[in-house]
């Protein structure tokens, strides 16, 4: 069962997909969009859902360090609701606390230039969001066995 992971931002969406067994997350792309042309964003996501035979989607939910939702969280909730209607798949919100900072550290450790980091940071954040979701689900399954 493949799952799509999304890091939703104001002008970009980082995209990751799980392997068919739901063990690992791989970055696919960063989608650039304009707010007034969101239909193109949803069209691209529908293409990816079809291409990878995705069965559910995880959208990062921004929270601050103490766990309260930020202003961006409201936008992520609205995006998830619209996405659910468009693709007709389960869409779950997932705490994305510190994923962008962690992605930045990973890319810095890989010695990427600032320009290259900027191109891939949203995709890497989507990988971290999805991987943490997959890891948590796997732990829950083991606990229930």
Range of the domain at 136: 2-144
Task: Determine the distance from the C-alpha atom of residue 70 to the mean position of all C-alpha atoms in its chain, rounded to a whole number.
Answer: 17
Q: What is the CATH number of the domain that holds 58?
A: 3.30.420.140
d(CA 65, CA 98): 8
In tens, the pLDDT along 58-112 reads: 999 987 667 778 788 999 999 999 999 999 999 999 987 656 555 556 545 555 5
- CA-CA distance, 45 to 30, in Å (whole number)? 11
Write down the pLDDT at residue 110.
55
Helix (H) or strand (E) holding 49: helix 38-52
- What DSSP designation does 89 have? S
Query: Residue 73 contacts by C-beta under 8 Å, 6 or more apart in sequence?
Result: 61, 62, 63
User: Which of 14-28, 31-45, 60-74, 104-118 bottoms out in mean pLDDT, i.e. has the lowest?
Assistant: 104-118
- Structural domain count, the chain: 1
Is pLDDT at 118 greater than 60 in this prediction?
Answer: no
Gap between the Cα atoms of 135 and 127, Å rounded: 12
Name the strands in the sheet holding 91-95, side by side, starting at the edge strand that comes first in the sequence: 25-32, 12-18, 2-8, 54-61, 91-95
């Amino acid at each position: 069962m493949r799952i799509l992971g999304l890091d939703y931002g104001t002008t970009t969406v980082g995209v990751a997909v799980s392997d068919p067994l739901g063990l690992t997350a791989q970055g696919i792309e960063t989608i650039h969009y304009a707010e007034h042309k969101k239909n193109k964003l949803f069209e691209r996501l529908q293409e990816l859902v079809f291409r990878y035979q995705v069965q559910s989607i995880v959208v990062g939910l921004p929270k601050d360090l103490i766990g309260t939702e930020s202003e961006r969280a409201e936008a992520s909730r609205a995006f998830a609701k619209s996405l659910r209607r468009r693709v007709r798949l389960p869409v779950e919100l997932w705490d994305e606390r510190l994923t962008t900072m962690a992605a930045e550290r990973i890319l810095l450790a890989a010695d990427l230039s600032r320009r290259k980091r900027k191109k891939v940071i949203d995709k890497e954040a989507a990988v971290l969001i999805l991987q943490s979701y997959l890891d948590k689900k796997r732990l829950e399954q083991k606990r229930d066995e």
